[in-house]
Amino acid sequence: MIQRLEAWLPYPPALNKIWRMHNNNIYLSPEAKQYKQHVEEILGWHGETIWKSEMLVVDIVSYPPDRRTRDIDGILKCLIDAIPSGQGGIWADDSQIAELHVLRLYGFEHKGSVQIKISECRKENVRKR
């Protein structure tokens, strides 16, 4: 069984670029769909769901593409939703995340990318689904 998953992913689209509305229908923007597809290709996971019910820890280090002011939580929705979930995904559902760490750094070498590490939460009193 995989104990930890680590990956470098592209920096996700801004929160205000994820959803679109047309005739009172809300849908995922083409940019968000393309990001999700790209993340799935990078992760390349096509096997059995790794974590079916375990509670998880997710560590994220983000390297913004530029020095514009951003909310640190603005990348989370698109990034976490892009991780394959459900049957054959990395996890069954992102509600399995019990602990989440986000760090923003500015480094030329990794500019415009995100490092993500996923592992099982080993803390006591964390409820399993």
**pLDDT for the residue 47:** 76
**pLDDT for the residue 1:** 56
The pLDDT tens digits of the residues spanning 76-100 come to 999 999 999 988 889 999 999 999 9
With helix as H, strand as E and coil as C, how does the chain read?
Answer: CCCEEEEEEECCCCHHHCEEEECCEEEECHHHHHHHHHHHHHHCCCCCCCECCCCEEEEEEEECCCCCCCCHHHHHHHHHHHCCECCCCCECCHHHEEEEEEEECCCCCCCCEEEEEEEECCCCCCCCC
**pLDDT for the residue 103:** 96
- For tokens 């470098």, the residue is 8
pTM: 0.89
pLDDT-flagged residues of the chain (< 70): 1-2, 128-129
Strands 113-120 and 56-63: antiparallel
**pLDDT for the residue 128:** 65
**pLDDT for the residue 102:** 97
**pLDDT for the residue 11:** 96
Q: What is the CATH number of domain 4-120?
A: 3.30.1330.70
**pLDDT for the residue 2:** 65
